[in-house]
Amino acid sequence: MNVGGEHYRTIWLKPGDDRTVQIIDQRPLPHTFVIEDLASSDAMARAIKEMHLRGAGLIGAAAGWGMYLAALEAPQSSLEAFLGYLHEAGEKLKKTRPTAVNLEWAVDRQLREIASRAQTPAEGVQVARATAQAIADEDAEFCRRIGEHGVKIIEEIYEKKGDTVHILTHCNAGWLAFVDYGTATAPMYEAQKRGIPIHVWVDETRPRNQGARLTAWELVQQGVPHTVVADNVGGHLMQHGLVDLVITGADRVTRCGDVANKIGTYLKALAAADNGVPFYVALPSSTLDWSICDGVAEIPIEQRGEEEVKYIQGLHEGEVKRVLLTPPESPAANYGFDVTPARLVRGLITERGVAAASEAGLLELYPERR
């Protein structure tokens, strides 16, 4: 997508240096745009864990490139030693963040491809590079298609209403959370391209404020009308007919259609159900976890450090600063995600179309999983 008129993806191999991966460092956004070099699998693991980059699709792409960096570091003496190193690096990457399934999906895809296509470590490096690029390209293409499918929902509302479509979103499932386009935002960008008037309510998304900092910044870059609201405003907006549609992203969706997404999503889905507002979730198939059904019982929910809740970050006299919000001695709990049961989800917008949030609905779009 565009930043200051230039097209960027969120992750790429550094031009002229194929041992370094570059990312947009999301920590100083929206105030400063920084590109960071990552030249080892450990550096990539740290960048994922400490959230220099984040978002389900991008974490998957980063794991793909992390495995390529691991392949460059791995012993080249024998295929066995090479694969052993890659397995260890894959385990390290998988441990960085537990909820978004894209991470383990990408590591496992790399290990499968390398094991089945490489006869030597040198070939392994080439396979790892091609696979990392394929994961990233596929993520971008799938998000583009999600936009094409999702825009039909916006179009339909616009045709009935004949006026601006108000869409509420939570967290950042925009292009910063993927390689390009985003998931929840892709239908919005497509609507904008087609001249459908939209306005986006952006939940601030405490504690890390991915909505206020990242989604709002993206929408500014793309010129999409939006308003940032505190997390608890959504229910009020819905009661007053100010939301036509909710679209969020997802970090893991079970085969039965339960959705793990950023903490607070479940409350938005409850408010949407109570007010008859359609609640959609947009995701690429790399976010589907076919091995589980009951999301509440089976999806691991990341708990992060309490400082993210106790402190807030912002710009003060030109400098990005963190300030303490709570009494210093108050403990805080920091649950990163919650699970929205399938019954509250009107539909899952995927790269293959919109599925009902159920096993039958997903299998109709992905019959190869039967």
Segment lying near ligand MRU (by CB under 6 A), choices 104-112, 142-150, 246-254, 327-335: 246-254
What is the number of other CB atoms lying within 10 angstroms of the CB of residue 365?
Answer: 17
Residue 247 and residue 322 in contact, taking contact as beta carbons nearer than 8 Å: no
Nearer to ligand MRU, 38 or 127 (CB): 38
Q: Which of 222, 248, 254, 340 binds ligand MRU (CB under 6 A)?
A: 248
Find out whether 262 is annotated in a ligand binding site.
yes
Residue 278 and residue 357 in contact, taking contact as beta carbons nearer than 8 Å: no
Give the number of C-alpha atoms closer than 13 A to the C-alpha of residue 337, restricted to the C-beta side: 27
Q: Which of 56, 191, 228, 238 binds ligand MRU (CB under 6 A)?
A: 56
Q: Are strands 245-248 and 165-169 parallel, antiparallel or unpaired?
A: parallel
Q: Which of 41, 209, 254, 261 binds ligand MRU (CB under 6 A)?
A: 261
Q: Which of 210, 222, 286, 340 binds ligand MRU (CB under 6 A)?
A: 210
252 in contact with ligand MRU (CB under 6 A): no
Show the tokens assigned to 140. Answer: 């971008």
SS3 34: strand
Helix residue ranges per DSSP H, the chain: 41-49, 56-73, 79-95, 102-117, 121-161, 186-193, 210, 216-222, 234-239, 265-274, 295-298, 307-310, 359-365
139 in active site = no
CA distance 65 to 92: 14
Contact string (CB under 6 A) for ligand MRU, positions 291-330, x = contact: ----------------------------------------
Q: Which residue is nearest to ligand MRU (CB)?
A: 249
DSSP structure class, residue 316: E
Show the tokens assigned to 168. Answer: 């509420």
What is the number of other CB atoms lying within 10 angstroms of the CB of residue 104?
Answer: 19
Cβ-Cβ contacts under 8 Å for 271 (sequence gap 6 or more): 234, 235, 238, 277
Find out whether 70 is annotated in a ligand binding site.
no
Find out whether 343 is annotated in a ligand binding site.
no
The continuous run of DSSP H or E covering 320 comes out as: strand 319-324
Nearer to ligand MRU, 113 or 180 (CB): 180
Kindly tell me the burial class for residue 329, based on how many C-beta atoms sit within 10 Å of its own C-beta (0-12, 13-18, 19 or more): exposed
Q: Which of 67, 111, 157, 177 binds ligand MRU (CB under 6 A)?
A: 177
What is the number of other CB atoms lying within 10 angstroms of the CB of residue 56?
Answer: 30
Segment lying near ligand MRU (by CB under 6 A), choices 34-42, 171-179, 192-200, 270-278: 171-179
Nearer to ligand MRU, 22 or 210 (CB): 210
Nearer to ligand MRU, 172 or 254 (CB): 172
Q: Which of 61, 69, 127, 171 binds ligand MRU (CB under 6 A)?
A: 171
299-to-50, 247, 294 alpha-carbon distances in Å? 21, 21, 8
209 in contact with ligand MRU (CB under 6 A): no
Nearer to ligand MRU, 61 or 362 (CB): 61
Find out whether 210 is annotated in a ligand binding site.
yes
55 in contact with ligand MRU (CB under 6 A): yes
Find out whether 26 is annotated in a ligand binding site.
no
Given the residues 180, 203, 251, 258, the one annotated as active site: 251
Nearer to ligand MRU, 109 or 262 (CB): 262
Q: Which of 54, 226, 252, 268 binds ligand MRU (CB under 6 A)?
A: 54
* Residues noted as catalytic: 251
**Which residues contribute to the site for ligand MRU (CB under 6 A)?**
54-56, 171-173, 177, 183, 210, 248-251, 261-262, 336
Known binding residues for substrate are: 54-56, 97, 210, 261-262
